[in-house]
Amino acid sequence: MDVNQLLAGLTTVARRDGIADVTGVEYDSRRIKVRDAFVAMRGETTDGNRYIEAALTKGAAAVVTDSREAYEELALKHPTLPVALVERGRRALAEVSAAVFGDPEKRLALTGVTGTNGKTTTAFLVESLLKSVGRTCVLIGTIEYHVGDAVRASEHTTPESRDVLQVFADGVAVGASEAVMEMSSHALEQERVWGLPVEVAIFTNLTQDHLDYHGTMERYFEAKLRLFEGVGTVPPRVAVVNVDDAYGRRIVEAARHSQVLTYGFDEGAEFRAIDVRMKAGETRFTMMTPKGMVEMLSPLTGRVNVYNLLAASAAAYARGLTVEEIVAGAARVGQVPGRFQVVPSGSGVTVVVDYAHTDDALRNLIALARELVAPQNGRVITLFGCGGDRDKTKRPKMGRAAGEGSDLVVLTSDNPRTENPSVILAEALAGVKTTTGTTCIVEEDRRGAIEIAIRAAKAGDIVLIAGKGHEKMQILAGGTVPFDDAAVAAEVLEEL
């Protein structure tokens, strides 16, 4: 498209026109192609304005910058280059990308999911329900991206707007009419989802996480709340909110410009679960809906997945599915990788891989395991670790949660990143020691720890391998190495 037309659509501080035809957009100079527009913006770890010359060398046809210094320097060094100076680089990236990709966000009905726990499973469930009635979808989330039936690797829970809009455009090209996205608190606060019109917004819950970034729970909540206020757009048409959560009740009060559908176990919830019955690989419950009661059956297990099913059901209802279609779709959903993922075993021991990486998620996971082993008088063996370079205050809390609910705890490394693993282990171990009489084995090597946990189990026991879930890598100070909890567990089980 004509560069002057492109730049004219931006909210600019200053602009210099030129002659160019722009065919793409990038914010990473390493990915620049000839005739791309380069959006140079300040980020959390680097400043894209340092790479303007590299982008021009590779053929960038125009530059959008959030640095006045860079703008003035370009006027001297490249007087004929089309350049725009903007106040907010990420907003400009979203606006330029939407124009270059042909505004695909306007041709998809977007469901956004936010919250501490349950985002990934809820997003998968919403997509599954929409697909069950023949709709083609785009999914963007922690585990992977979907474009129709094609699966792509996920680099971020919520990528930069340029990459979101590329996926949306690819989805529109294959006939997608729906999009489902996990929207992290980081992405909402950093405006990586700027300008995306949200049709349905889901709030799952809020528990302590990411305080290394947000600082306080209130700021963390305020970041989540942005989804329901509209990030550069009008508020969502429908807000689906967990009213069993105290922060959810605050969102109900704030979402005055949206239709609100509530869910939970609370009597006032419009989508409510009663008479829950579950076993490994199956959950049944009666769901109260605005259209009456229906019987739900799902291959997913646990109370947390009842919440996820309620949220997805309310969102699907908001997207026009009947309760009968929701019931039929819920019965056919598949297992979500790394979310209560059962590793096949013929030993009588149940081994589960789960992404639980907060004290609340760990406590819920252990409570579910306790319910499942109760009929056999089995034990709960919990393996967990804590991530490095992240909120340190939750480490003893996770240790306490593991110690209070488990018969045996195996403490190991998660993703230590640049921190000393032994320091992380000591901080988590302090929490375990506040419980009474729970045995804790410390093994820094995660592979060795998984073997210890499984070898300690007997028929009727359940082994929980928590923290990394779907992840296929372990991040160490010396670099990233391949590591898959489920694959390692399967190897150990086969050896046994």
Between 475 and 278, where is the model more confident?
475
Burial class, 458, CB count within 10 angstroms (exposed 0-12 / middle 13-18 / buried 19+): exposed
Strand pairing of 62-65 and 341-343?
unpaired
Q: What is the pLDDT of residue 207?
A: 86
251: nearest Cα among 234, 265, 238: 238
Share of the chain above pLDDT 70, in %: 98
Mean pLDDT of the chain: 94
Tens digit of each residue's pLDDT (9 = 90 or more) over 99-133? 999 999 999 999 999 998 889 999 999 999 999 99
pLDDT mean over 200-223: 83
DSSP character string of 403-465:
HHH-SEEEE--S--TTS-HHHHHHHHHHHHTTSSS-EEEE-SSHHHHHHHHHHT--TT-EEEE
Residue 381, both tokens: 């063996």
208: pLDDT confidence band, cut at 50, 70 and 90? low
Its pTM stands at 0.84
pLDDT mean over 334-340: 86
CA distance 168 to 176: 8
CB 110 within 8 A of CB 168: no
What are φ and ψ of residue 374, in 5° steps?
-55, -45
Strand pairing of 24-26 and 36-40?
parallel
Domains in the chain with CATH codes? 3-100 (3.40.1390.10), 104-330 (3.40.1190.10), 341-495 (3.90.190.20)
213: pLDDT confidence band, cut at 50, 70 and 90? low
Share of the chain above pLDDT 90, in %: 83
